[in-house]
């Protein structure tokens, strides 16, 4: 099974492509940088996600679910970026899974309050071929989402533990 994890952002978004099977293998990953006004950035984000989906043909697309940010304006813009990702993912017709940040942290790092460094370290443990370094935190976050999608597909126990922190879209 192949999963693509996407960490939405309006200026920089991360993606990670992970194959399952006899262990988890990182196939591709990195960041998508957008510039221009918000409308142009959101359009570019949707187009980039569409290209990644077409290139890697995933069985499952995983995106971070909405969370309440400290700054309402930032949270609104992040929600719009997430919407652009959902449009591209939805247009592909592939299964789409939204995972709350705390749920992804619980699955990948074994506790829901793991910080970014702990998540990146946990991703390296799960992967048979971890990168020597991450392009950005957006990159490692996206790979963690892809890993969480893989693990959740394999384990009904994980689904039971997470409860409302996971949703099929």
In the set 19, 65, 138, 141, the catalytic residue is: 138
Query: Of 68-77, 100-109, 148-157, where does mean pLDDT reach its minimum?
Result: 148-157
CATH code of the domain containing 124 = 3.30.420.10
Mean pLDDT of the chain: 90
Q: Which long-range contacts (CB under 8 A, 24 or more apart) does 152-161 make?
A: 152/97, 152/99, 152/107, 153/1, 153/3, 153/20, 153/60, 154/20, 158/107, 161/106
37 counts as catalytic: no
Q: Is the pLDDT of residue 45 over 70?
A: yes
Residue pointed to by tokens 């990948």: 108
Measured distance CA(95)–CA(106) in Å, rounded: 22
Q: Is the pLDDT of residue 155 over 60?
A: yes
pLDDT for 121 equals 94
pLDDT for 31 equals 97
pLDDT for 21 equals 82
Tokens representing 136? 């950005």
pLDDT for 88 equals 97
* Averaged pLDDT for residues 27-44: 97
Helix and strand counts by DSSP (H, E) for the chain? 6, 6
138 counts as catalytic: yes
Q: What is the percent of the chain where pLDDT is above 70?
A: 89
Q: Is the pLDDT of residue 87 over 50?
A: yes
In the set 7, 19, 141, 153, the catalytic residue is: 7
pLDDT for 28 equals 97
Domain span at residue 156 reads 2-168
pLDDT for 13 equals 97
Number of domains in the chain: 1
pLDDT for 15 equals 98
pTM for this predicted structure: 0.90
55 counts as catalytic: no
pLDDT for 158 equals 47
pLDDT for 17 equals 98
């Amino acid at each position: 099974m192949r999963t693509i994890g996407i960490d939405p952002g309006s200026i920089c978004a991360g993606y990670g492509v992970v194959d399952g099977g006899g262990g988890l293998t990182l196939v591709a990953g990195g960041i998508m940088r957008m510039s221009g006004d918000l409308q142009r950035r959101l359009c570019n984000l949707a187009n980039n996600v569409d290209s990644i989906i077409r290139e890697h043909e995933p069985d499952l697309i995983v995106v971070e679910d909405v969370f309440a940010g400290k700054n309402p304006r930032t949270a609104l813009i992040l929600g719009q970026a997430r919407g652009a990702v959902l449009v591209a993912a939805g247009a592909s017709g592939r299964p789409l899974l939204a995972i709350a940040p705390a749920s992804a942290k619980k699955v990948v790092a074994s506790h829901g309050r793991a910080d970014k460094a702990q998540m990146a370290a946990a991703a390296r443990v799960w992967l048979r071929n971890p990168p020597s370094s991450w392009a950005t935190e957006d990159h490692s976050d996206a790979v963690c989402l892809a890993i969480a999608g893989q693990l959740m597909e394999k384990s009904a126990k994980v689904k039971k533990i997470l409860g409302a922190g996971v949703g099929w879209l």
